Amino acid sequence: MFTIGTHNVTDIHHVRIHKGLSEGEGFLTLCFHATNHWVSGPKDPQVSNEYTFYFKDLEKGYSSLMESLEDAMYNYTKEQSNDG
């Protein structure tokens, strides 16, 4: 297990889902754009990259991802409305 941090993401522009070799497993790939903020390079060039998640149980992994995203956005929205 490890942690990945990516900054300056502007959007998720594509998602791919592929079946794995064994029954029920699969891969979910998030394709995203981000902007670089390098002092020595061109100003704010856009880069593309992707993260791939392997799920032993793709259906369960997908469901848990969607549920967690919805819960997180609900909590974020609730916190933002309490700040105002």
| pLDDT value for 49 | 93
Strand order in the sheet with 46-55: 9-19, 26-35, 46-55
**pLDDT above 90 (res 72):** yes
pLDDT by residue (tens digit) across 11-64? 999 999 999 999 999 999 999 999 876 666 666 688 899 999 999 999 999 999
| pLDDT value for 16 | 98
Count Cβ atoms below 10 Å from residue 80 Cβ, excluding itself: 9
| pLDDT value for 4 | 87
pTM across the whole model: 0.80
